[in-house]
Each structure stands twice: as structure tokens, then as C-alpha cells.
Amino acid sequence: MLEMTRGEFEELVAEALDRIPPELTRLMDNVAVFVEDEPPADDPELLGLYEGTPLTERGEWYAGVLPDRITVYRGPTLRMCESREDVVAEAEITVVHEIAHHFGIDDARLHALGYG
């Protein structure tokens, strides 16, 4: 397994977020991004997870709720990657994938776009 501290991995995730075009980040609303070491035990290969209400499903009722949560998992990412460059690329793909869920884009469409 590739070695990388949690701090280094968090920095890569932050850099991936910085590469999201500003016109998209301005549209993101009430969402927080976290890094965790491992995903839930029932899905040990999960790279990222979006939890919340996509922008496309929010209505007048959406007020005073906790932020949506995007989690990027360090362990499975490091286990599947062979180099730091692979981790950089995979972190970016995972961040884009989970942000797309925030915008209401489903897995089928993301796979078609190459963000599977």
C-alpha cells in the first residue's frame, strides 16, 4: 500500500477542490467536505460518499438543515493507487464525482462522463 499521511491526503483533496471551476463552486450550497481514513465496514472499497439533499431536490422546505456531507476515504484510495500521481488523479475524480451528486447527477451519468 502506498504511504501518505492523513495531512498530505487532506491537502490533495483540498487541491482537488481548488481545481473545481469557480462558476461551479459558487453554486454549491450548504455542503462540507471531509476526509476519513476508512469507509463503513460494509463497503470497504468505497472511495467517497455524498450524504444530503441534492440541489435539484431542494424546495421551500429546505431551511435550517445540517450541511450536506462529502467524505473522501483515504485508505481505499491509497490501496488502489500505485503512485502519488495516481492518488492525485483519483482524489480529483472522487471529489468531482461526489460534488456532482450534490448537483443531482446520478452514478449512471457520471460513469458515462468518465467519473465512475
Per-residue cell: 105? 447527477
pTM (2 d.p.): 0.93
Overall average pLDDT of the 77-84 stretch: 96
- Contact indicator for 90, 81 with CB cutoff of 8 Å: yes
Instruction: Report the number of secondary-structure helices (H) and strands (E) in the chain.
Output: 5, 3
Q: Which residues contact 93 (CB under 8 A, 6 or more apart)?
A: 115
Q: What does the pLDDT read at residue 114? A: 79
> CB count, 10 Å around CB of 102?
23
Q: What does the pLDDT read at residue 113? A: 84
**pLDDT bucket at 26, cuts 50 / 70 / 90:** very high
Q: Phi/psi of residue 49, each to 5°?
A: -150, 135
**pLDDT bucket at 86, cuts 50 / 70 / 90:** very high
